Structures are given as C-alpha cells and as structure tokens.
Amino acid sequence: MATEALRSVEAWFANSGRTAFDFQREAWQSYLAGESGLINAPTGTGKTLAAWLGPVIEAAAANQRRIAGPRVLWITPLRALANDLVGNLREPLEALGVPWTVEVRTGDTAASVRKRQREKPPDALVITPESASLLLSYASSHDQLKNLTCVVVDEWHELLGTKRGVLLELTLAHLRSLNPHLRVWGLSATLPNLNEALHVLMGNSITGRIIRANADKRIEVDSIVPHDVSRFPWGGHMGAGLLDEVVAAIDKAATTLLFTNTRSQAELWYRSLVEKRLDWLTTVSLHHGSIDRKLRARIEQALKTGELRCVVCTSSLDLGVDFPQVEQVIQIGSPKGIGRLIQRAGRSGHRPGAASRILCVPTHAWELVEIAAARVASETRRMEVRRPLKLALDVLIQHMVTLAAGPGFDENALLAEVRSTNSYAGLSNAEWSWALDFVTRGGCALQGYPQYRRVARAADGLMRPAGRLPLSVELADSVLEMLGSARQWQQHPEMQAIAPLLEVQARWSALPSRDALLIEQVESREGSHLFVYPFCGRLANEGIATLVAARWARESPQTFSVGANDYGFELLSANPIDVSEPRLEAALSVDNLAADLLAGVNLGEISRRQFRDIARIAGRRILITTPSRFTPLAFPLWASRLQTQMISTESWQQRIERAAQQLEAQASRAARML
C-alpha cells in the first residue's frame, strides 16, 4: 500500500509540472521507516513537502480512520506564516485522497475556534511553540495528544538558541512521554551546526538522521556602490541618497521584496518610493508585524499572484512564505548577519534552477565593507552558529505550571522527562528542588505570601494548581438568605458556632441580605475605605470593583487600591470617598455597562457570567453604614488587599495577627458593656 501511495505522490508531482527531489524521497522513506530527523535544504527547494508527505503517504496507505486528537502538529515560529502554511499543506490532500482537515491555532485564533478545536481537533494543526505548550494545560490534553504521530518544527534555526526553543524542547519531551513512537522532524535552510541542532531537537535519548538536499542554491549578492563616499561617514547618510538607483532596480524586475532592518525604516522607504513614483501607488505595499493581520494576508496573496511590483518589509517576510513571483530581493543597510543575508536572498528565485538574487544598499560607507564580507562568507556558506541555551529555569517553571494546570504531574516522572532534553540534561537536584519550591511555595523570598503558591500536591499525589475556586451564584444566594435571617437557622451547629461573630457584625454595621446591598464606609490611617458586599464570587466582585473605580475616577481624578474576595470588594483612597445612594446607584448602573468595562484596566477576563452578576445586583436596595472600625466582614478584605500590596519590615502574618487581636479586644469590651 505504501508503494502505491508513493506512486500517487510521484504522479501528483508530474501532473503539477514538477519532479520530486532525491532528498524529498529520502525523507518520505525515512518517515515511513519510523525515523526522526532534520531536513536541511535551501529555501524554495521543497522542505515543506519533504516533511509533510511522509505522514500523508502513511495515512493514504493505511486508509486511517478518524481518531481522537490531531495526528500532526506543525510548529511555526511566526504566526504570520500559519495561514500560508495551511494552504500549502491542504494542496496535496485532495489529490492523494486523504480526507484530513488542516487548521491554524495561534494567538490570533478566535476563542470560539479554539473551543471547537478542543472538542473536535483537526487532523493537522499549524501552531506556534507557545500555543503548542498551552495545549498541555487542558485537562483532556493526554487523551487528545496520545494519538499524535508526528511533530514538524519549521525554521528550526529561528528557535534554536532561544527560550522559545527551550520551551519547545520541554513540550516535545512531554509529547514523547505520551507516545514513545512519536516522530519529530525539523526543517532548516541556514544552519552550520547541523549535528548539534539535531541533538537538541531529538533530546538525549533519541537518535535521528540528517537529510541534506544536493541542490546547492545559487546566491547572487550585488550592491549599489555610491559615486561619492564621504571620508567621515555617518549612519543613515547614504540610504535615502540612493533612492534613484533603488527605483531603477525595482523597475527592472517583475516583483521585488525590499527588506529593511526596522519598522520605521520600512515606513520611510515606502513613503519615499510612492512619492518618487506616484504611478506605483497601487503596486507598492508595506508589510510588517504592526499591520493588521487581514491586510498582511491580502498583501501576501497579491505577492503570490504577481500583482505587486514591490513590497517594503521587515523580518515579517523573512521566513517560510513561498512567493514564486519574486525575482529579486533588495536589502537596505547591512544585513548584520550572514545567515540573515542568505535567508532573505532565498525569498527570491523559488523555481528549480533559478538563482536567488539580493541587492544590498549601504546606508553609510562602512557598510560597504560589511556587504563585501557577507558576499565572501555566503559563497563558502560560512554562517553564524546558533548555540542552544542551557538551564533556563524560568522556562522550566512556566512549563511546570502549565502541566499542573492540565492533567497534573508526578514530580519524579517529570524530572526524568526534563532531564531527557538537551537544555536540562545537567539539571542538578538542587536546581530541581529550587524550581519545585518556587511553584509550590513561591521560593524563599515569597513563602510567607500564599497568593504566590501556584501548585500543590492533590489527593491523588499529582501536582495540581492551588488556585481558589470562586463562590457559585447559587451558593452565594443561599449564604445571603441565611445571613439575612440568621435566627431562623440557629438549629444548625455551624450557625450556632458563628453566632458571636454575626452579633458583632450586626452591632457594628449590619448583616447583608438578598434584598439589600450592604456598603460600609470606614476611615483609618490609610485613608477612606469602602467595603461593598455583592456576594457574587471573587471574579465578579473584582470586575464590579474595577467598574466602580473606573467610573468614579472618570468623574474626577482619583486613585484607588482594590481588593476582592468571594463576599465583596474594598476600594481604598487617600482622599475621602463621596458615598451617597445616588452616586452608588450611578456607579452600579447597567447603562453603558459593556463599554465601561472594556474601557477599564485588565478586564480581558470578564466573562458573560460576571456581566450577569453585575446586572443582578444593580437593582438591589442600597444599605450604607459607617462603622468606626473594620467589621468581621471587612477585616478579611482588608487583610487580603494588604497581603498583595504591603511593603514592610514586619511580616504580613504579624501585622494581621496584631490587628485581629485589637479588634477582638474591642469586641470583647463592647460585649461586656452591654
């Protein structure tokens, strides 16, 4: 069956007017033999199909049925490349009769799409390293990823030697623990240290092979040499002065990519070109990371079809995107790296036998030397070595928290898994203990602050998140019902035990109830405190607090400190807070609710449920009290806010205990006087 599928691939190439390269055939056979490895081939020679058609041929040969979870993860370093990749991967599927679905998952993917992908994953997922790591944070990740057969890491040289690459090492190690037969293939065009790059990608316990393309891509490096070179050149002097020569070069080619090293430089050159040639206004475009994603996609499509004469761009078009119509590349200024020069030159000449051409434009005299040196080095393929990072403990901590948020992890199994990577092969027991201590207690410096504890041992022995669950609406309503008529529930032993506390709360302020929103205004040495008790759960209370603070600060400049728990929230201001029923009703109004919430700070996580809860309290009767001290309901709110904001030589526990003792003494004295 595999032989028949291979013949179908050869026929598809022939029907498309192409011929498969030997290195592509070698990659397919290696994949079918269960091997992993690194494919090294010049840009534009077919690395993508070399890696992709192995899994596709296997699927066609086995006539594989639909399974849970994706079969292939395609890791791309730039999310801007993802949509272009999806189109390239889908192209051979229909021709070969493989009914796979291919989708994108990056930071740009809508939440509804991500939810659907979790419920019904596609067969192949084009994804960034960060999004691949986040897949491990879902409780169902092990079930969904256990059937994964292949991971392809595109542009591996861009990730090697970075913390993104280290995060990917850890992700791959965990995926291998779920499926020991997982095949991993890396793709790279510009790496001199291939053996080291392969070892980092494979991990310490996996062997792989390097597949090289025999076709050596011809690169032509030219430059525009100015007629007059200043004896004392200064940066930026000659770039714009060579505009006429650049325009002439663009005029000679059908399509040109003009690279700059910064976004501001790209915008200046784009403006200069269209001002010089107004007739190019509709055929010259600007492309960089700050431009709207949909506009970037339209520009990339126009490049593919040859509709554009020139695109002025930054590194946003350095990688991966295949533009057969591009005849030449112009580099403004020194490329500042041999690998970058070869990478950018490779964006042109995407046809068999065609040379990649790059024209370098110096921005000052000394860059002429850099351009000449880069040409000589590129002729001998002498490039910068990407050295892998070692022992990035911050990345390890991030990975541990991610796994804890998902199915949880066994610390001994995870240690062995982590040490199987190149980055953490030398991880000592002391370093592992430090990382584990940091995620469970916040480390030595933060062990006294419970809010920094991210992970704890669960009942099943696995390490899981130590986060607090917010109070449900139903339970909150029941609590309010019992507090509003406490005497009615005195037969419960729990209510009998808390009766003294309820008595103090009622005497100093009031007890909250379902039909009244209790608000307490207290003055202290810190300033003016406003305690509000919606009983909506911590997350919704945080949203309501931010809403009120934002609306009041809009009326007049004012700074608030905010704290919240399941029962209520605190607003603290150094200046007196004007508390009146009409002002509070306006602050809690549902009018313009969505707009005001979105205009606030850090409100991206406000959910629909929190909107409902905010609307739910807006119609309640407001009960304002002015206690002379913190009440039993207010004290934990004050303590919680103090815990996150206090800077003092005195520990948080000591200060809270002292304050609690003072309130206890005041309550006891008041009780004796009754």
Q: Is residue 183 part of a domain?
A: yes
> Which segments of 397-548 are extended strands (E)?
455-457, 463-465, 516-524, 527-533
530/521 Cα distance (integer angstroms): 5
Say what angle helices 22-32 and 47-62 make with each other, to 10 degrees. 40
- Whether 287 and 317 have beta carbons less than 8 Å apart is answered as yes
pLDDT of residue 672: 60
Check whether residue 205 and residue 251 sit in a common domain.
no
365 residue type, one letter: A
Q: What's the whole-number mean pLDDT along residues 136-145?
A: 87
pLDDT of residue 427: 95
287/665 Cα distance (integer angstroms): 69
Mean pLDDT is highest, among 126-135, 293-302, 331-340, 599-608, for: 126-135
Confidence of residue 453 (pLDDT cuts 50, 70, 90): low
Question: By percentage, how much of the chain surpasses pLDDT 90?
Answer: 26
pLDDT of residue 542: 81
What residue has token string 């291919």?
A: 102
Check whether residue 10 and residue 98 sit in a common domain.
yes
Confidence of residue 152 (pLDDT cuts 50, 70, 90): very high
**Alpha-carbon Rg of the chain, whole angstroms?**
32
Q: Which of 95-104, 260-269, 310-319 has the lowest mean pLDDT?
A: 310-319
Check whether residue 402 and residue 304 sit in a common domain.
no
Q: Is residue 643 part of a domain?
A: yes
Q: Is residue 385 part of a domain?
A: no
pLDDT of residue 200: 94
User: Which is nearest to 40 in space by CA: 212, 278, 249, 218?
Assistant: 212
Confidence of residue 608 (pLDDT cuts 50, 70, 90): very low
Q: Is residue 386 part of a domain?
A: no
Helix (H, G, I), strand (E, B) or coil at 570: strand
Check whether residue 249 and residue 346 sit in a common domain.
yes
251/272 Cα distance (integer angstroms): 15
Q: Is residue 245 part of a domain?
A: yes
Q: Where are the alpha helices (DSSP H) in 160-262?
A: 163-178, 194-202, 243-252
319 conformational bin, left if phi > 0, alpha if psi -120 to 50, beta if neither = beta
Q: Is residue 186 part of a domain?
A: yes
Q: Is residue 511 part of a domain?
A: yes
Q: Which two tokens stand for residue 177?
A: 């623990």
Check whether residue 142 and residue 72 sit in a common domain.
yes
326/350 Cα distance (integer angstroms): 8
Looking at residue 235, which CATH number applies to its domain?
3.40.50.300
Residue ending a domain, choose from 465, 481, 504: 465
Residue ending a domain, choose from 465, 492, 520: 465
What residue has token string 């919240």?
A: 564
Q: pLDDT, tens digit, for every residue of 242-263?
A: 888 999 999 998 888 899 888 8
- Residues sharing a CB contact under 8 Å with residue 311, sequence separation 6 or more, in sequence order: 256, 257, 258, 284, 285, 286, 287, 299, 303, 317
User: Taking the CB of residue 640, how many other CB atoms lie within 10 A of it?
Assistant: 19
- Whether 283 and 305 have beta carbons less than 8 Å apart is answered as no
User: Which is nearest to 538 in space by CA: 592, 591, 459, 475?
Assistant: 475
Q: pLDDT, tens digit, for every residue of 72-91?
A: 999 988 766 677 788 888 88
User: Which is nearest to 347 in space by CA: 386, 310, 379?
Assistant: 310
Mean pLDDT is highest, among 37-51, 170-184, 507-521, for: 170-184
User: Which is nearest to 472 in space by CA: 627, 610, 670?
Assistant: 610
Check whether residue 564 and residue 610 sit in a common domain.
yes
Report the b/e string of 275-284 with b at 16+ CB within 10 A.
eebeebeebb
Question: Domain tally for the chain?
Answer: 4
10 Å CB burial of residue 105 (0-12, 13-18, 19+) is: buried
Check whether residue 373 and residue 427 sit in a common domain.
no
Q: pLDDT, tens digit, for every residue of 25-56?
A: 999 999 999 999 999 987 777 889 999 999 99
User: Which is nearest to 1 in space by CA: 50, 69, 60?
Assistant: 60
pLDDT of residue 35: 95
pLDDT of residue 165: 94
Check whether residue 434 and residue 528 sit in a common domain.
no
Q: pLDDT, tens digit, for every residue of 421-433?
A: 999 999 999 999 9
Q: Does residue 612 register a pLDDT over 60? A: no
User: Which is nearest to 310 in space by CA: 338, 281, 288?
Assistant: 281
Q: Where are the alpha helices (DSSP H) in 63-110?
A: 82-95
Q: Does residue 69 register a pLDDT over 90? A: no
Residue ending a domain, choose from 443, 465, 487: 465
Report the b/e string of 82-101 with b at 16+ CB within 10 A.
bbbbbebbeebbeebebebe
316/290 Cα distance (integer angstroms): 10
Say what angle helices 393-405 and 429-441 make with each other, to 10 degrees. 50
- Residues sharing a CB contact under 8 Å with residue 333, sequence separation 6 or more, in sequence order: 239, 260, 261, 265, 361, 362, 363, 367
> Which segments of 503-660 are extended strands (E)?
516-524, 527-533, 561-564, 569-573, 621-625
User: Which is nearest to 156 in space by CA: 171, 169, 174, 145?
Assistant: 169
216/671 Cα distance (integer angstroms): 92
Q: Which whole-number Å values give the CA distances from 417 to 35, 45, 251, 421, in the listed order? A: 20, 36, 56, 7
637/251 Cα distance (integer angstroms): 69
Helix (H, G, I), strand (E, B) or coil at 40: strand
Q: Which two tokens stand for residue 15?
A: 């029907």
Helix, strand, coil proportions of the chain in percent (round to 5)? 50, 15, 35
pLDDT of residue 670: 62
What residue has token string 């506390």?
A: 501
492/470 Cα distance (integer angstroms): 24
Mean pLDDT, rounded, of the chain? 81
Give the residue, 366 or 323, on which the prediction is more confident.
Answer: 366
Check whether residue 310 and residue 450 sit in a common domain.
no
Give the distance from CA 382 to its chain's centroid. Answer: 34
Domain that holds residue 284: 219-379
- Residues sharing a CB contact under 8 Å with residue 431, sequence separation 6 or more, in sequence order: 391, 393
Check whether residue 490 and residue 447 sit in a common domain.
no
> Which segments of 295-373 are extended strands (E)?
310-313, 328-332, 356-361
pLDDT of residue 604: 39
Give the residue, 153 or 157, on which the prediction is more confident.
Answer: 153
User: Which is nearest to 464 in space by CA: 137, 97, 241, 54?
Assistant: 137
Q: Phi, psi (5° rounding) for residue 383? A: -130, 165
Check whether residue 495 and residue 565 sit in a common domain.
yes
Computed from CA positions of residues 239, 242, 248, 253, in that sequence, does the dihedral angle turn out positive or negative? negative
Q: Is residue 387 part of a domain?
A: no
Q: Which two tokens stand for residue 472?
A: 């449900």
Check whether residue 482 and residue 603 sit in a common domain.
yes
Give the residue, 473 or 646, on which the prediction is more confident.
Answer: 473
Q: pLDDT, tens digit, for every residue of 84-114?
A: 788 888 888 888 888 898 888 877 777 778 7
Confidence of residue 536 (pLDDT cuts 50, 70, 90): confident
